Structure 1
């Protein structure tokens, strides 16, 4: 119950000035960013709800009893802000954005760009680099420059991988919910298959994440958000 209480405080805007060097945006500022970039109410509901769920999973895994990976420097509030904003770039990769009443549909060829687009948007809005990096570095279970080359991806050749535990946890939490139509939760067994499609090295990276962070209780979240679980 303590975790849910903290999550509720976050939703109510209890994120705080984190010190002399930078500020974390509060919930109102985060919601305003989503509304500003969302091309329609339907797009806002899809993406915002997904980010909400990823924040819930991030919080659950970060506060889980026996979480031996957490260190004294881990910044939970930074991770939650990153979860709320990591997918801000997806508003720019819709093929049908819902503005005309048609069902939402992403442009598959452009979708891979959403992390870089989100990174640029957040920097343009004046957010710190450490926050913008959550958008840039959450694709898959880590996208390396050689992956970009080998797969011929339309991205600048570079590593797109988490730089700290906060980014890594959000990237991992993101794998348990899909912005499909309709949106759904992703069971471990299904994500195992997804990760294996991209080769043994990718699958091993995924399994190391599972071993490090454990598994969230997506059954409770699926009930709370009225979304199915895909196995």
Structure 2
């Protein structure tokens, strides 16, 4: 470990240091809080499945059937993970994953214009956030949450094929914790006003980039289960689409 893992107070300091306006902070920081909340729910469900794998009812093949687990933690479905997941790592990573979006704002709300992102350069926010965190001394293990959460995993081939303004490389999760944050991120949008998306709504969105992209998302939903999006939307006073 070459850097530090931020505390919750330090996470807030990192957001406030880079935020160009209060409006930008409110939108982006709230989104990160929501993603961290969803990611924490997913991790707790995954860890519960892992711990209970020996007591779950068996399926037709004699293996533990996670679909029979009681959905008491806000997540329905999901598969038993190969190991316990690090909840603290996921929460800190979720709180910082979108910190680079402050640097792709076209209007930050301080000039009398509504908040608006710079569409053509928005794809750069992951790499910008990664570099910002490294420059601030944050450990690589945390900075990678910013770098590796775009879409359902942005590969080098896709960067080249789409002519994206990024150095050709894989921008994909390298561990389960990063993958959980990537998944959680898909359930909430920083649109103005912000909104929650159901798993099916995001599947429809993913389909615009091809059937393979849509299928990859649905596989992730099967793997990690589906959060109770209406309940989360009510908690954070946002709409659902």
> TM-score, structure 1 length as denominator?
0.88
Distance 1:144 1:125 in 2: 27
Mind listing any 5+ residue stretches in structure 1 that lack a counterpart?
Answer: 1-19
* Residue of 64, 70, 75 corresponding to 2:86: 75
CA RMSD of aligned residues (A): 1.5
SS of structure 1 residue aligned to 2:227? coil
1:30 pairs with 3, 7, 11, which one?
Answer: 11
Distance 1:77 1:175 in 2: 20
State the alpha-carbon separation in 2 of the partners of residues 75 and 130 from structure 1. Answer: 12
Partners of 2:2 and 2:125 in 1: CA distance = 28
* 2:187 paired residue number: 176
Partners of 1:200 and 1:49 in 2: CA distance: 31
Q: Does 1:55 align with 2:36?
A: yes
Alignment of 1:1-231 (within 5 A): 23-64=4-45, 65-66=48-49, 68-230=79-241
Deviation at 1:121, TM superposition (A): 0.2
Structure 2 CA distance, aligned partners of 1:177 and 1:125?
A: 27
Report how far residue 68 of structure 1 moved: 4.4
For residues 43 and 31 of structure 2, the distance between their equivalents in structure 1, rounded to whole angstroms, comes to 18
- Count of aligned pairs between the two proteins: 211
Contact 1:79/1:170 (8 A) holds in 2:
yes
**Contact residue 3 and residue 140 of structure 2 kept, 8 A:** no
Which of 1 and 2 has higher RCO (CA within 8 Å, sep 6+)? 2
- Deviations along 1:83-117, whole A, 9 cap, x unmatched? 00000000000000111232100000010000000
- Give a deviation string over 1:106-132, Cα, whole Å, max 9, x none: 000010000000000000000111111
Match of 2:62 in 1: none
Distance 1:70 1:21 in 2: 29
Larger Rg: 2
Map of 2:64 onto structure 1: none
